[in-house]
Structure 1
Amino acid sequence: MELGFVGFGEAAFEMASGLNREGIDRFYAYDALLDNPNFSDRIRERASKANVLLLESADEVLKVCSIVIAAVPADKTLEVAQSLAASYKKDLVYVDVSASTPEIKKQVASVVEGRGALFVDAAMLGPLPVYQHRVPISASGSGAGSFIKTMTGYGMQITKISDHPGDASALKLIRSIYMKGIAGLMVEFLEAAKKYGVEEAAISSIDETMNAKTFVKTMNRLVTGSALHAKRRAVELGGSIEMLQESDIDASISIAAQKKLERLAQLDIPEKYKGSKPDTWEEILDLLMEGKEVHHR
């Protein structure tokens, strides 16, 4: 098995470094910035540390390798895949780990598979400097099974989502809605707490509430409870927004949350459920989707 990289930035370097310790003693790579004086030394230094042989072109990497991991910027993913059309070959596994959208991954898969190679949409769900090659990876596409069979023996943590390219990237981007969104919410919450000098008490209160039950149970309670009391909670959040604005604190996350609650209020959950709370978050999502279908008719 010969493993190569198209794009040798931080992600590829960390992955190669970890795999090198697992027993893979030689990798191949190409990076478009290799001849850029601002990046050349850094790329060559990393390649030396990870036992990576730098080649003159991406096409050369594809010719000598059976598995190629494309770690290029998301806005270059399709362009790079198209530029390599003449070098795809039967049984080559082309693994795209970029943060591209599901639609782009489908287009890349079409290019790769159209030439007889196998495609893997690979979504890395953790920081590479921490996990290196053991970063949790969700994979989908025609080559997912082959990728898993070959690389799990070297310690990689890969889970197959489906045979459909784009599914793994969808999972990653959907996860980002929460992970990036909650980070923004935390900043807004902490700014307000710091402004009013109640950060210790506020953090302690949230800690107690959020850790009382599992994430799944807490999520279900918050979604179903908010749907039932959406109108009142939207009004209450208006008070928080007013306070933030009076204190000259950015209230964008709270404003967005208020709009989401107002949308939930339009479902008329108290009337539909006769004042009772729905049992599951799935019920709320079904009602939201029904509302969209009615709107589009």
Structure 2
Amino acid sequence: MNIAFIGFGKVAYTLSRLIKSPDINFLTSTEKRSNDTIDLINKSNIEVYDSFREALENAEIIISAVTPSKAVKVADMYGPYCNGIYLDLNNISPDTSEKISNVVDNFVDGAIIGKIDSKNPTLFLSGENAHKLLFLNDFLNVNIISDNIGDASKLKLLRSTYTKSLSVLLIETYDLAKKLDLEDEFFDTLSITDGDDFKDKSLSRINNTLKSSKRKAEELEEILNYFNSDELDMVNAALNKLKQF
């Protein structure tokens, strides 16, 4: 089986390492890719084609792993070359999932829950063809939500509404603690109620948010565009703060 990636960042890189089977071959292209992306592709030791069209036409499964703002454009460009399943793993809204479903055959709505490089990453899937990807359960935790396109994206948005807003609040509180020279005591205090590993998890969340603030801001914009933004005061505030990082 050939699986082709559109986009090759952390998600594609990690999946290519997680899904190890002699029956699965990964494909992609360096066409119009940055030097950093090309370096990551070379580290992955996967099959590289001169063009995405060639790679996609040779694949039974296509995985789109780009930024949310490019998801529809990528589907428009490369969807016609899809001969099998088209799996979108971008943090997009259900409305965006519907748009992609309208231009791509055999579409599956996907959402990675939590960090892709965690010990047991979880993949939510929805759509009539989601069951065709159950073989991935041999490599990560696969949860089929329903046959409805958009349901996986809805759950991802709900989770992101909470986690990304909370991450911004955590950064603000941590900055206050540092100004007061009480950062260790701050984590010690919260660890009493939130567990001994709270500090390590919090610092990881802070670093991840700061490193990928632009992408996380795009994800919050997807949330505000889908839900009634007038009712999401905390999300609006988190978005404004992310844009300052």
| Aligned-partner SS, 2:14 | helix
Q: CA–CA distance in 1 between the matches of 2:175 and 2:80?
A: 54
1:80 to 39, 63, 74: 74
- What is the aligned partner in structure 1 of residue 7 from structure 2? 7
Alignment gaps of 5+ in structure 1 = 212-255, 258-297
Residues 24/48 of structure 1: CA separation in 2 closer, same or farther (3 Å cut): farther
Note the C-alpha offset of 1:205. 4.6
Alignment of 1:1-297 (within 5 A): 1-20=1-20, 22-24=21-23, 26-34=25-33, 39-40=34-35, 42-89=36-83, 92-113=84-105, 118-131=106-119, 135-148=121-134, 150-153=135-138, 155-196=139-180, 203-210=187-194
Report the Cα offset of residue 199 of structure 1.
Answer: 5.4
Residues 85, 47 of structure 1: alpha-carbon distance in 2 compared, 3 angstrom cutoff? closer
Query: Which of structures 1 and 2 has the bigger CA Rg?
Result: 1
Q: TM-score, normalised by structure 2?
A: 0.69
Check the 8 A contact 2:62/2:82 in 1, yes or no.
Answer: no
TM superposition score normalised by structure 1: 0.58
The alignment partner of 1:33 has SS state of coil
Aligned mates of 2:41, 2:182 — CA distance in 1: 49
**Distance (Å, rounded) in 1 between the aligned partners of 2:63 and 2:40:** 17
Q: Which moved more, 1:169-178 or 1:93-102?
A: 169-178
Tell me which protein shows more strand as a share of its residues: 2
CA distance 1:61–1:205, change in 2 (3 Å): same
Q: Does 1 or 2 have the higher relative contact order (CA < 8 Å, sep 6+)? A: 2
CA distance in 1, matches of 2:47, 2:194: 49
Secondary structure of 2:8's partner? Answer: coil
Structure 2's unaligned 5+ residue stretches are 196-232, 235-245
Q: CA offset at residue 135 of structure 1?
A: 2.1
User: Is residue 81–residue 111 contact of structure 1 (8 Å, CA) maintained in 2?
Assistant: yes
Post-superposition offset of 1:167: 1.5
Query: How far 1:198 moved relative to its partner?
Result: 5.6
Percentage identity across aligned positions? Answer: 27
